[in-house]
């Protein structure tokens, strides 16, 4: 009994240490690193350059470093943006008559109406030669909180969709979520 308890406690402790190490690594990844001449690098919260050197801040302490002591300042790299031309997709059956279910979900969840930008065929879809009669467009960025919640709902209900993070010539004017099957090109276009 005691051996099992000690093994369980050891397992819990190892899990906690791993979680703490990962959290610290994520925090450090967002920090600025000052590489020093002949010394270990310093991880800082902020840095500003002056004519004589660098001011850096760690926590609530601000310190100055002479220019000769600094090899370089390394800033965190921003995450690579996802390609706007590659929409997220969902599969399933869809009829435009099912739109009320989506509108009801969104209204109940966010206490406001679904920001529908196209319901069925629009002039733009006609100009682009797209058959959008059985689709609707929602003016939400797919990475926004509301967009992510809507996409999760569409997936859970097996409702087909395309999510655009930016404009795609001849397909999308900007970020939005297209609900319904992919619009087919009308012949003669």
What is the three-state SS of the chain?
Answer: CHHHHHHHHHHHHHHHHHHHHHHHHHHHHCCEEEEECCCCCEEECEEEECCCEEEEEECCEEEEEEHHHEEEEECCCCCCCCCCCCCEEECCCCCHHHHHHHHHHHHHHHCCCCCEEEECCCHHHHHCCEECCCCEEECCCCCCHHHHHHHHHHHHCCCCEEEECCCECCCECCCEEEECCCCEECCCC
Q: Do 46 and 34 touch, CB atoms closer than 8 A?
A: no
Highest mean pLDDT, choosing among 42-51, 99-108, 155-164: 99-108
Nearest by Cα to 73 from 52, 43, 28 = 43
d(CA 146, CA 135): 19
Confidence class for position 5, pLDDT limits 50, 70, 90: low
Looking at residue 18, its pLDDT comes to: 47
Confidence class for position 25, pLDDT limits 50, 70, 90: very low
Residue 95: phi and psi, rounded to 5, are: -135, 145
Question: Mean pLDDT of all residues in the chain?
Answer: 80
Please determine, for residue 86, whether its predicted confidence score (pLDDT) is greater than 60.
no
Q: In this prediction, what percent of the chain has a pLDDT beyond 70?
A: 74
Q: Do 140 and 148 touch, CB atoms closer than 8 A?
A: no
Looking at residue 158, its pLDDT comes to: 87
Please determine, for residue 131, whether its predicted confidence score (pLDDT) is greater than 80.
yes
* Span 85-114, average pLDDT: 80
The backbone region for 88, taken as left when phi is positive above 0, alpha when psi lies in -120 to 50, beta otherwise, is beta
Class of domain 31-78: mainly beta
Please determine, for residue 28, whether its predicted confidence score (pLDDT) is greater than 70.
no
What confidence tens digit (pLDDT) does each residue in 142-182 have?
Answer: 999 899 999 999 988 888 898 898 888 888 888 999 998 88
d(CA 185, CA 128): 8
Looking at residue 90, its pLDDT comes to: 56
């Amino acid at each position: 009994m005691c051996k099992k308890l000690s093994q369980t406690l050891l397992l819990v402790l190892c899990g906690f240490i791993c979680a703490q190490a990962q959290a610290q690594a994520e925090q450090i990844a967002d920090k600025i690193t000052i590489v020093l001449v002949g010394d270990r690098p310093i991880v800082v919260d902020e840095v500003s350059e002056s004519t004589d050197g660098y001011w850096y801040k760690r926590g609530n302490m601000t310190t100055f470093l002479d220019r000769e002591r600094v090899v370089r300042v390394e800033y965190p790299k921003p995450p690579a943006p996802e390609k706007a031309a590659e929409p997220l997709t969902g599969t399933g059956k869809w009829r435009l008559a099912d739109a009320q279910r989506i509108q009801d979900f969104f209204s109940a969840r966010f206490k406001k109406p679904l920001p529908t930008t196209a319901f069925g065929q629009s002039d733009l879809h006609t100009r682009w030669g797209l058959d959008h009669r059985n689709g609707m467009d929602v003016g939400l960025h797919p990475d926004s909180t509301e967009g992510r919640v809507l996409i999760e709902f569409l997936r859970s209900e097996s409702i087909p969709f395309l999510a655009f993070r930016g404009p795609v010539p001849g397909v999308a004017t900007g970020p939005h979520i297209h609900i319904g099957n992919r619009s087919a090109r009308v012949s003669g276009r």
